[in-house]
Structure 1
Amino acid sequence: MNWIQLIGSFFGSVGFAMMFHLEGLSVLWTSLGGGMAWFVYLLIGNYYPFYGIQFLYASIALGFYTEIMAKYTKMPRTAYIAVGIIPLIPGFALYHAMYCFLQKNMTDGKSYAWEAVVTSTAIAAGLLIAMELYKILRKVSIRWRLAKELENNK
């Protein structure tokens, strides 16, 4: 585990939280999401070498963290997503794709561009999966509690 990357992802998220004018503990909570997402990315990287799977699982974890913390802290989900997604953004691949295209190196440029597309798609899909699963689990939980309450009232 690379602790420097984890600390860097946390403080990078802190910078964006401050840029988005978050205050107080909301800076900490939203930045922990970014650090946690990068932790999951590194952890999954030990088992799956394909970067698309790593980003998918990291964004699923971020999505669940977002849903839980938004409810707990009564803040909008977008604050958690906007700050937490910062470490996952494929900036390296985008930069190198543009650089290679400018240098007329189309083969490497296409490779980096494809990496950026796969990464972005995995992030979007992971957030979507997590948010929909959370919504389904909440509905099931509410129905289960209502059924249990009705059973106790009989």
Structure 2
Amino acid sequence: MTFVLNLLLASTGSLAFAILYNVPRKFYLCAAFTGMAGWFCYYLTVPFTDTAVASFFGAVGVVLVSRIFAVWKKCPITVFLISGIFPLVPGAGVYYTMYYLVSNELTLAAIKGLESLKIAFGIVLGIVFIVTIPKKWFFIQNWRKKDVEKEYIAPSRK
């Protein structure tokens, strides 16, 4: 029950973020599904790893689904990426870092700040990891081709 509730709340948060940033209505369900997919990846990996590593896998899920939807719906990837990454962002960690700094509890501030920084770095690495994949790999026509295109290799000079 908790798993389903987590997925529902992640998709609701992504949908609300998409509405807040004026994503066109026809992309609402895809934006909600993107956030849910990222949280699904995060939720499955967090019992076995650190939260930063789980955030990396969540970001990989978000960006992968965003790339697929961007090609399918013929729109920019940021439409789905920004709203889908929202559930993974360490907002509470940043808040508590500032709270501990103001409260003059510097040790706790350093611990929370470093943890939030590791999570943010994991998210960035997850985004970079998938965005570097060539766009043509996400077109289904490329996967349906029977013959593989061969690259032209220039003849060597003698």
| Stretch moving more, 74-83 or 128-137 | 128-137
Tell me by how many angstroms 1:2 deviates: 2.7
Normalising to structure 2: TM-score of the pair?
Answer: 0.83
Residue equivalent to 1:93 = 93
Residue identity matched to 1:71: V
Q: Distance in 1 between matches of 2:84 and 2:127?
A: 11
Residue equivalent to 1:106 = 106
Residue equivalent to 2:78 = 78
Task: Give the match's secondary structure for 1:63.
Answer: helix
Q: Say yes or no: does 1:22 pair with 2:23.
A: yes
Normalising to structure 1: TM-score of the pair?
Answer: 0.85
The CA deviation string for residues 6-33 of structure 1, in whole angstroms up to 9 with x for no partner, is 2111111111111111233301101110
Percent identical among aligned pairs is 21
Structure 1: 4+ residue segments shifted above 4 A: 134-139, 144-147
| 136 and 119 in structure 1: CA distance in 2 versus 1, 3 angstrom threshold | farther
Q: Distance in 2 between matches of 1:99 and 1:32?
A: 33
Tell me by how many angstroms 1:46 deviates: 2.7
Structure with the larger helix share: 1
Unaligned runs of 5+ in 1: none
Residue equivalent to 1:52 = 52
8 Å Cα contact 1:67-1:134 kept in structure 2: no
| 83 and 138 in structure 1: CA distance in 2 versus 1, 3 angstrom threshold | closer
Q: Distance in 2 between matches of 1:37 and 1:148?
A: 32
| 137 and 24 in structure 1: CA distance in 2 versus 1, 3 angstrom threshold | closer
